């Protein structure tokens, strides 16, 4: 494989690797502490969600950073979209855990995974309607933001404020990515994808810190 000769694509690939590092480091630190059975379930759910974000970012780094055949490029993006679909489903299961209970999270997890995978299959069959999955992801983020904002206001979950902030930053990141004309030059050129990756990495750090606080506070 040959490194792509496009500065914006290069920075998109590098910032994707930053996301991989943040996701991997977050999972590592979550598993450093010994948790009880209930807390461990929460750690596994969130580790799965964050892990799939990392997988998607790793695939994105390859897709952005290297010159690939059209077929390989398409297969990479299909795998990336599937990773994101599973990440969103586990993400919502994590929110259900905090908002209601571990039992509720376990009950809804299979349905959420089927729903996420189903949205992915629909977009695979009808590539032109990927916006349907985008709507699903945005609704998941809005649900999470509302849930953690309520938990923070009522003082029901330690770290909920940080998690709400992380979700809000993720929403801003998604909005920035949707603005394809967005360009930022800070020594290097960043297009809408590179900007999204950087902002999303910050959101993920807030989310991870809130998650750590919620576990320690429980």
Q: What does the domain layout of the chain look like in residue ranges?
A: 2-217
Is the confidence at residue 128, as pLDDT, over 80?
Answer: no
Q: What share of the chain is helix, strand, coil (3-state, %, to 5)?
A: 80, 5, 15
pLDDT of residue 154: 96
Q: Which CATH number describes the domain made up of 2-217?
A: 1.20.1070
Residue found by looking up tokens 């694509």 in the block: 9
Is the confidence at residue 130, as pLDDT, over 80?
Answer: no
pLDDT of residue 208: 96
**190 in helix, strand or coil?**
strand
Residue 184: beta bridge partners?
Answer: 190
Q: What sign for the dihedral angle of Cα 207, 92, 84, 28?
A: positive
CB 65 within 8 A of CB 10: yes
Is the confidence at residue 109, as pLDDT, over 70?
Answer: yes
pLDDT of residue 179: 86
| pTM, full prediction | 0.93
pLDDT of 137-161, one tens digit each?
889 999 999 999 999 999 999 999 9
- Phi and psi angles of residue 32, each rounded to the nearest 5 degrees, phi first: -75, -25
């Amino acid at each position: 494989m040959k490194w792509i000769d496009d500065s914006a694509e290069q920075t998109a690939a590098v910032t994707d690797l930053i996301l991989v590092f943040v996701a991997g480091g977050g999972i590592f630190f979550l598993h450093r502490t010994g948790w009880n059975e209930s807390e461990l379930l929460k750690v596994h759910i969130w580790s799965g969600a964050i892990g799939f974000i990392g997988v998607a970012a790793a695939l994105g780094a390859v897709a952005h950073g290297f010159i690939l055949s059209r077929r390989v490029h398409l297969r990479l993006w299909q795998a990336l979209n599937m990773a994101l679909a599973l990440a969103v489903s586990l993400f919502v299961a994590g929110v259900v855990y905090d908002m209601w209970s571990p039992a509720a999270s376990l009950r809804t997890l299979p349905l959420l995974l089927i729903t996420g995978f189903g949205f992915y299959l629909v977009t695979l069959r009808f590539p032109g309607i990927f916006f349907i999955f985008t709507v699903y992801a945005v609704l998941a983020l809005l649900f999470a933001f509302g849930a953690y904002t309520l938990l923070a206001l009522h003082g029901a979950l330690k770290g909920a404020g940080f998690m709400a902030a992380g979700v809000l930053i993720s929403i801003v990141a998604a909005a920035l990515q949707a603005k394809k004309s967005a360009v930022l030059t800070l020594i290097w050129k960043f297009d809408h994808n590179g900007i999204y990756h950087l902002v999303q990495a910050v959101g993920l750090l807030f989310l991870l810190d809130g998650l750590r606080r919620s576990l320690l506070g429980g």
